[in-house]
Structure 1
Amino acid sequence: MSFATALVLAFSLSMDSFAAALGTGAVLRRPGAWEALRVGIMFGGVQLAMPMLGFALGLTFAAYVEAVDHWIAFLLLLGIGGKMLWESFSDDADEDGEASCGRQGLAQLFLTAVATSIDAAAVGVTLAVMDVDIVGICVLIGLVTFGLASGGVLMGRAAGPLFGKRAELIGGLGLIAIGAKILIEHTLM
């Protein structure tokens, strides 16, 4: 996987965390650097770990799916990206996210980070059937998520209501594009 593709993947997977961080910043009176770092570290760490977990699960089953791995990758990314697109047009998802994203304890913050990282685990499963540097990709995903989530908290107060849904839309389109690229590369080349 090229660096550019890995970077698009990292940004796409980070969009749920970014949207949640925008919501966190939107409901806090004055989010400071500590709150931004706290959210960024939690979201980035979980986003780093989830694709590795999915990758480990995918390796277990890789021998059984090698002939159709490109279709599996495409369908999983299409499903995850489609879900993100659907949620970006949903009226109630943003309201629920904002209502529950105020100053959270560590346990609540961890659960929010896991909830926004489920798609990263599914992507990790698809990466197991590809020849990739999983550690490098996971570190990139974690760093991008850390940056976007930290920045999202700080931007959230002013920009959360404006960009929250668009972030999910962009992330969903990015995942679908990566899935289509994988399918095209394996079937036409």
Structure 2
Amino acid sequence: MPVVNLGEIISLFFVATALGMDAFSVGLGMGMQALRLKRIFFVGVTVGMFHIAMPFIGILLGQFISTKLEGFAVVAGGLLLFGLGAYMLLNSFNQDDEPAISPVGFGLIAFALSVSLDSFSVGLSLGMSGVKIFLALVLFGVVSMVLTWAGLLLGRKAKGLLGIYSELLGGSILCAFGLNILFG
């Protein structure tokens, strides 16, 4: 059984935290919707699973096309987040009480995919390194799940403070994060 050193665990933890911060940030915006705790739990688990699956797929494809898809994954993630945010912004001017994008069905898949595309790029490079892949994937999944929960719960608290402006703020956060990925 291969020995894992503490330095490798710490390094992978920092990479996992960096990859999960977008889930935290986007979770802040998404959490401003009226989400039940059961839904928040499910969203966090789904994002965690995507943060395991996407780098795993990246690792599998890493030997073949590492540099060609990395830029595409970043652009696709940024565009998806910006699009979701713009839709939430436009819908915030509707008088409906129904949220624009709900983390259910397609909205959940789009949310989880958009915040895990950067982990696909990291997976491309992990496939060529000597890192412990199982450890990396578990850390990516657990850390992103916890950060998603934290973002959603904080966003839920902010909803109570912001009232009707919460969806406008949530959409703005998604747009800003998408633009930051595209141009930052």
| Structure with greater proportional helix content | 1
Match of 1:24 among 27, 31, 34: 34
CA contact (8 A) 2:28 2:151 kept: yes
Matched, 1:76 2:76: yes
Which stretches in structure 1 are left out of the alignment for 5+ residues?
Answer: 26-34, 102-107, 182-189
Q: How far has the Cα of 1:66 moved from its partner? A: 1.9
CA contact (8 A) 1:11 1:171 kept: no
The 5 Å alignment of 1:60-139 reads 60-84=60-84, 86-87=86-87, 90-92=89-91, 95=94, 98-99=97-98, 111=105, 113-131=108-126, 133-139=136-142
Deviations 1:50-101 (A, max 9, x none): 121222322332222123354234333433344345346x412675995059
Q: How far has the Cα of 1:152 moved from its partner? A: 2.5
Partner of 2:124, secondary structure, is: coil
Change (3 A) 1:67 1:9: closer
Partner of 1:23, secondary structure, is: coil
Counting matched residue pairs gives 164
Corresponding position of 1:143: 146
CA contact (8 A) 1:15 1:168 kept: no
The whole-number CA distance in structure 2 between the counterparts of 1:98 and 1:152 is 17
Which stretches in structure 2 are left out of the alignment for 5+ residues?
Answer: 1-10
CA RMSD of aligned residues (A): 3.7
Partner of 1:136, secondary structure, is: helix
Corresponding position of 1:57: 57
